[in-house]
């Protein structure tokens, strides 16, 4: 089987595949991601969009993996996606929102197999996994320190659980890799041949 193609520019997703010793190469898609609607459904649609865009440029039979991660905030009773903070003040605001509370992280995976010219690629997987994340109560010093690390940059929700952001988290329920950015447990259940 030819190497898996990762349809993502995310260094976290590439690092996950490298950690799991999955042979792959990267092809960054040029697509405009959706943002409106149910957060989990949007993540799945974005993952499919990325995978199909890359599959259209790959040789026939190539397996392409697209993914998208969103933070699902329901603190005001309505589920909405939280993206990446625009600046340090935005990151601090997100951390204060998570302090002493729970939120869900949804990572979607889409596996597409490229087809011949003029044919539609086949979608083998288009699902999301969610993990509950509980933050400990953060002091003003905690927030100032973490924002000062700069890890919040380009991170949905304003933190990186695989780095120093782990010091802010009290616990999780679900797949840790989902929070990092790729639903490994879901892929292992549904498409194990891609990870071997």
Query: With contact defined as beta carbons under 8 Å apart, do 122 and 152 qualify?
Result: no
68 is catalytic: yes
The C-alpha atoms of residue 27 and residue 176 are separated, in whole angstroms, by 25
Its sign, for the CA torsion 178, 184, 186, 187, is positive
Up-side HSE of residue 193: CA atoms within 13 Å toward CB? 7
Count H helices, E strands: the chain?
A: 6, 7
Q: Which two tokens stand for residue 176?
A: 């840790």
| Active-site position among 30, 38, 68, 89 | 68
Q: Which residues are catalytic?
A: 68
């Amino acid at each position: 089987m030819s190497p898996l193609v990762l349809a993502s520019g995310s260094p976290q997703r590439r690092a996950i595949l490298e950690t799991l010793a999955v042979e792959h190469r990267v092809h960054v898609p040029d697509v405009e991601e959706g943002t409106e609607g149910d957060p989990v459904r949007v993540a799945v649609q974005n993952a499919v969009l990325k995978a199909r865009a890359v599959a259209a440029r790959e040789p026939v039979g190539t397996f392409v993996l697209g993914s998208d991660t969103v933070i699902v905030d329901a603190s005001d009773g309505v589920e909405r996606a939280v993206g990446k903070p625009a600046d340090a003040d935005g990151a601090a605001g997100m951390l204060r929102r998570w302090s002493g509370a729970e939120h869900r992280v949804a990572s979607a995976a889409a596996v597409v197999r490229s087809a011949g010219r003029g044919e539609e690629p086949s979608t083998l997987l288009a699902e999301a996994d969610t993990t509950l994340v509980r933050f400990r109560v953060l002091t003003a010093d905690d927030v100032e320190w973490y924002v000062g690390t700069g890890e919040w940059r380009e991170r949905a929700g304003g933190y990186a659980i695989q780095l120093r952001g782990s010091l802010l988290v009290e616990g999780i329920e679900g797949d840790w890799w989902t929070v990092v950015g790729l639903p490994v447990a879901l892929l292992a259940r549904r498409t194990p041949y891609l990870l071997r």
